[in-house]
Structure 1
């Protein structure tokens, strides 16, 4: 036990006593500070615990709602309910713990401080005051002359009385200090013991609760194991089904779907022309059922019978309108023009409709057999077959680039290689930033993408990505190799680029080499530079004005270089130090094909450079009629689309779509025909005003119609 103040020394009031008293008072002050800190931290801990309990309660409410959602699933519902009950009891235990902590720490220590410290402080003030009076009385007594007996006697009596009073307060003050020092040890230990006992009780209750839940948890563990097995089997089944469907139809086009039942012959999406507004076409879901042609405008609307009896109808192809793949269905009362998405889909519908009409006359009571759907002619349709034949022209493309399997049906459009179906799945797992996979028989291909596949091809790309294969001692997998072997090879080849012949030049020089190759339109050099790690969006520094390879390709005029860089992640709206992007550069150089391609890829035609000029202003300044026409028509079309959001009656302007398509086809197949045509700004501005006036009349008429 710590030493206490000695009462005998207190009466003597020696220097040793005064020194020990000061140390005692300092200990009391430090102890008071610690007690105050502990009580404040305890309060914060209890408040945080209450917030934690409130959050836990909200969490349990969410679990209860989740349990209600799965009330039809007995396994999940029972599991969630039992865990919810157990956790609810844990919250109650926590509440009790925080209440006991509050009483154990805060209340006991508060009682200690409020019971002793205020009285101790008041006694100390009196002790210091009487000590001062004693010093004054002793000083006066020492200064009285021996010849003044009366004053000397009075001073002696005052000194004696003051000393007795001082001894009384000093002894009282020492008693209180000793009592506080003794009591605080008991109260602090009792407080901490109560807190630990509350924790012991809490964890013991939790242990008992979890022990009661142990049989339930074992049952749930067995159910979870079974669910895990069932889930893995179901996931495998879904993946296999997904792969089969993907192989059959991965183009994203709305192909006709033959139905398995006897009540319905054919179904699919068609465009239906409005009878009131002949230029308005609506995409609807059509089906033939019970000798009727039925359609739905959307999944939220009910089916509508378009023709009640197909026996009273005739079907024919429409060749005298601008839109492609159209056919007409006529009856005595009405006719309806329909449009398919491709020639093969159109023919399937014509065959199915005519077959349904014929069958309705021959067997009105029997369910018609399945017709159309393209099942009678195996293999890819003619248009797809032409894509496949064009792709196989490049050297090495008739074998899979990664395993050598014959006649691959898939391709990576950004790498420029053909791959088999198993390797295509591995390519997809790499991510679209490394490989963009597309089907050669099911997907639609743009001219630029198909040309890239023919110019690069498997032999060229393999010379780049497999240059050091023999040096590494690596053996390329074959078509009969396991999937794991092919996957390891493809990752080493395209992700790690382990077999690429690395260059000793720095990144800056590699970037300049990619820029020069892009400007020259050298696709092989560009592919090699990207394989060696050149940044597709890296700028060539201040000496080149901060231009990227895409801007260089736009300046050089190579349409395929622009498409290759865009497919490999080039940012179409990146701008150099002068604020000009690829679209500015193409407009300045007068490359109409590049302008068309960049607009299709989302280039911002309103971005201005350091002179405040956008691409349209540059085209007007250079007097390039084709580019001005493209940019202005694109702006008009965008304005028409904006008006669609207000009035809901205007689609993409057909004139713009036709002009845009013509320019795109001409840039890909006949770029020599794209020549500059000089024109006067005054005449062009008058033409622009006239076009805007016609657009305004169209919008006003739509407003009146919608109102």
Structure 2
């Protein structure tokens, strides 16, 4: 009854508030954009204030509606089952005389209880993700407002110096990279007012999408607008997420007539177009025109920052169409990359200097650090000089063509990132990981069969005639075949003739992590199954070799669940009891080795794994007062809500040890609770 009377009623109320706020927001926006240029400043300011207030109320009601819907969806999954299972469990305790009959249902009852707990945790995780997304949206909106206010002053100067605006260079570089890889990415999407070409000149609100192939679309269908509006918050994100419109664009060439009739999707041809920064009617505000030989499009944005952003990115898309032909010519590629990346680096320095002064030289310093590592001056696969892409988990640098091949393998094999574009990825821990590895060492592992002495008795030749290593001019099909054989089938990895089992590999990697031998740990991951990163102490020491392993450790119950017990010397008989279930992550935390932790996590180690005491690596760091590693694990997705065998979460463990002096650690623990 509470679900029907309160939760569902709350959804209805939230929906009514949302509809009302959306109506008021639409009215305020229409009033604001309809102002003329000669309107007095105080009137413009008043209308702008009304627009901001209505927009804030709209966003608040929208988030309230989403939260209400999410709460209803979450409760649908577990509330009914939880009530029923709790009721049956109470009957089981009450009717002791009917134990024989109801006892048959006991396993099922506990299974349902387990399922409901998992459903509840899953629902809580979804709500946490939603809250983080909302917070990211608000933070990004505030950051965009600050950036837009700065970019308005700089755009006039940059246009006079660079012609089309500095942001167009970034769009050209980004679009060119994805055209070479055969991918289509969204550069910008959002709502604009479009003036009809009829005699009445009516304004209609359309949803526009600009992609990396230089194609500009706008949609008239209301359903398509709504789907696009949901992804609008990700327009300026550095990550490359595909929107729902990518499916439409991929089929557009085959069924353009179907798109225009059913989806009401129209295309603006930018190949022979130019852009003007004002409308024909000079009295109109926030307008710009796209002029082609066949038609002129007059568009109006919500504000000046959005107008300049559209102008710069459309200009960059037009420039990318001119440059795409040269990017496809092999004999011009090296020269083009050198000259073009100089412009792109100049743009990065100017733009990043506006947002964060210390990031101005980050791209250059990262490239310099990575290329000083042995073998990193050439692509690890084909030998192309000055590679600009990297595989984070494999620790190698790649050219743009080979990076596309690696990306097709999937992130479980290779996590591809750009050295130039993905600036936030290259934190000091990742750079330290690459310093320990590099192309030269990694290829000595993955291509060990090519380097091995054919007369050695310890080498097991799995391939009679290995696939030749690709060169710079080899076709993409040969690179795909070679990379797949190298990393997926592991045909070129040198294996010992004894062919040790999983337990032997587990013991070897345990020793490598214990002695902080990162290269040996990397080699063992390469020659064995990737699941070895989730090895535990139980895999290293068999039950037969440790007869006392199953006995309860001495001491109080509180001490037996102490996470710090996992850090004892594992060679002693006493510690073999306390090390049950300890993972490689527990051992790396004990050694205070952040780089080893990063390596294990890159290859898929379970960051929330529990030992026999129920303690996660985060519990261990908290118990050892290693705040640096604890914050590192929290940023990498560790869940502080997990309780150890003593029934304490990571936050409760930290508070049990005294006041938390590290404010950042406290915020991370409480925010994720």
TM-score (norm: length of structure 1): 0.39
